A and B are shown apart, each in its own frame.
Chain A
Amino acid sequence: MAAHKLIFRIQRFDPAADREPRDQDFEVELPPGITILKALNKIRAEQDPTLALRYSCGSAICGSCAVKVNGHARLACKTQVSDCADNGVLRVGPIGNLEVLRDLVVDIDPFLESLGRVKPYLVAEDGAAPDHERHQSPEQFLKIDPSTTCILCAACYSDCNVLEVDHSFVGPASLAKAHRFIFDSRDTATFQRLGTISEQTGVWDCTHCGECSTRCPTETKPLERIEEIRTRAMADGFHDNAGARHALGFRETVGKRGLLDENYLPARSMGFGNLPGLLSLVPVGLRMLRRRKNPPLIPPSIDKADEIRKTFARFEELRK
């Protein structure tokens, strides 16, 4: 295949000269089979040596070259230009949710600090160095295999919808890192970890938007790890938070009639003893009532709900 021309529209920012980021177009002629990283380095070498970017291994191992390509976080070294340039223009910018230092380089420190919040290290029983290695069986390792593959590229952090509105959220990479120790057979702090992560800004603050797993370039897939942490927290009895109560509300109403009771669920989630929380539901409830948008006062039920009740009666037995 012959080389083809296209436009790289790169977001530039020089804190000494620019008040706002600006786009700059670079026309490039690229051979087939080239990655975004190689293309960016070609632009630096041939057109503008001041273009700032961060990279190291070029092999999808070090995790340093994440950028936004056409608005979504990707590893520059693992992404083919040909997969992203349908209309002849390819947009490249810095990853999101982090301050831009220059061009495609962001301040990665808040991301690394968020990892520190989940104690990303093994908490052993006695705390002392053992005489020999702490062994794991292959079956024990398989539980943490996905979460150990994280390369800390921050692609998930970049595109996380919750972090866009709240930087106190612990974030998907940190939750995946927490998973790596919660499910580690050698770790002895599981109870404390589940307790901490069940608090506000923790595992229940995730909206399930799925951006983290969609952008993740490894098998870490943070959303799936978040789901596994929630399952473990529910099974281990960490129920004193709105997220867990919400799940209990599903269990209680679907398990009885096959459908949700949308009048019961919000109150159950807030907590029946949480007066301010319950009062906060009153305006929206009245508003919906006025418009006849309120769920029916007699909760809906499916036909043959007895079949569902049989399954829910075995709820604990059916925990895998």
Chain B
Amino acid sequence: MKYALYTGCVAKGAGRENLVAARLACEKLGIELVEMTDAACCGAGVINEDNPLVADILNARTFALAEAQGLDIMNICTTCQGVHRKAQRKLQSKPEYWTRVNEELERDTGRRYQGEVKVKHFYEVLLHDYGLARLREKVVRPLAGLKLAAFYGCYATRPPEVNDLANPDDPDELEQLIEVLGATPVRYDERLKCCGFPIAMVNKENSMQLGGNAIASAKAAGADAMVTPCPLCHLNLDAYQPEIESQLGRKLRVPILHIPQLVAMALGVPAAALRLGTHIVRPTALMAS
């Protein structure tokens, strides 16, 4: 198995540990990754609002680059994943617009997006391409006794027509993955809510309250840690957790893990290699394991 690895911005910035873990997990599974060092930011839905055509050209360029490699794309961020899928769907539903995007792309780069490449998140690759049964066989260090709350993030579930969840209103794909890794999935009310990250700079109070509600809900359900496929959710829930605690007026101290970290640990990657110490809320029990 071989994929074009689209890292996105956070993996080169404040979430470098996510990229490290994804690489190590894939290495253990024999999944070959070719990093797309020339692929640009997906725009995170923000460039799309500033100038939709520019955002579509950017993403069409990314797809064209993967097509030139002859590989499908693996994302490690559900925001990138959702933005990519929305862009593909938009272009495929508007052939005349797609032609215009390709004309502009060709003018600037000499490339064209043909519509052949598929984009998949790391966890979707495990679920649908690699297979959970195969993954279970590779688990050498089951995360037994660990209660984990999956936090899906908006782009993993909405809009439902651009994700691969069997039941987007009540998904259990991440819970299945947690179970395969030997941990116990914890269900809680806020698992499909917004973490608040997109408005952290616009309305910090609302952003912190959204994040706080999610963490408090997971903690109340007995979770030892939360785990997310979106590094932006990770940032809001982890890096801002002290501010969230101040706003809620209570201690939370819930570690926020990236999905690839969890998979890598269960596959036997030493905790020390996973940069868990860079987390603001350190998962001390896992770090000691």
- Interfacial chain B residues near A266, Cβ < 8 Å: 201
Q: Which residue of A lies closest to B167 (CB)?
A: A86
In whole angstroms, what is the CA distance A293 to B279 when docked? Answer: 7
Asked whether, in the complex, the Cβ of A210 is within 8 Å of the Cβ of B13, the reply is no
B280: CB under 8 A from chain A?
yes
Near A by CB (< 8 A), chain B positions 152-175 give 154-155, 158-160, 169-170
Mask of A283-313 contacts with B, CB within 8 angstroms, 1/0: 1100110011111100010111101101110
Number of interface residues of A (CB under 8 A): 66
- Residues of B whose CB lies within 8 Å of any CB of A are 9-10, 12-14, 17, 37-41, 43-54, 57-58, 61, 104-105, 108-109, 154-155, 158-160, 169-170, 193-194, 196-199, 201-207, 209-210, 213, 239-240, 242-243, 277-280
Contact sample, A vs B, 15 pairs, CB 8 Å cutoff: A161-B210, A165-B206, A166-B205, A205-B199, A206-B199, A213-B159, A227-B49, A242-B201, A291-B279, A292-B278, A293-B279, A294-B14, A304-B38, A319-B53, A320-B52
A270: CB under 8 A from chain B?
yes
- Interfacial chain B residues near A296, Cβ < 8 Å: 12-13
- Interfacial chain A residues near B57, Cβ < 8 Å: 311, 318
Asked whether, in the complex, the Cβ of A293 is within 8 Å of the Cβ of B194, the reply is no
Asked whether, in the complex, the Cβ of A250 is within 8 Å of the Cβ of B47, the reply is yes
- Interfacial chain B residues near A151, Cβ < 8 Å: none
Asked whether, in the complex, the Cβ of B202 is within 8 Å of the Cβ of A204, the reply is yes
Q: B87: shortest Cβ distance to chain A, in Å?
A: 13
Asked whether, in the complex, the Cβ of B278 is within 8 Å of the Cβ of A161, the reply is no
From A207, A227, A241, A303, give the contact of B194 (CB < 8 A). Answer: A207
- Residues of A whose CB lies within 8 Å of any CB of B are 70-72, 161-162, 164-166, 169, 200, 204-211, 213-214, 227, 230-231, 234, 241-243, 246-248, 250-251, 254, 258-260, 262, 266, 269-270, 280, 283-284, 287-288, 291-296, 300, 302-305, 307-308, 310-312, 314-315, 318-320
Answer whether A318 and B53 are a contact pair too, CB < 8 Å, given A161-B210, A208-B45, A284-B240. Answer: yes
- Interfacial chain B residues near A304, Cβ < 8 Å: 38
Answer whether A284 and B239 are a contact pair too, CB < 8 Å, given A208-B154, A243-B202, A318-B57. Answer: yes
Q: Which residue of B lies closest to A205 (CB)?
A: B203
Q: A249: shortest Cβ distance to chain B, in Å?
A: 9
- Contacts A230-B50, A311-B105 given; 7 further ones with Cβ under 8 A? A161-B194, A165-B206, A165-B213, A262-B14, A284-B239, A300-B9, A308-B40
Q: A286: shortest Cβ distance to chain B, in Å?
A: 11
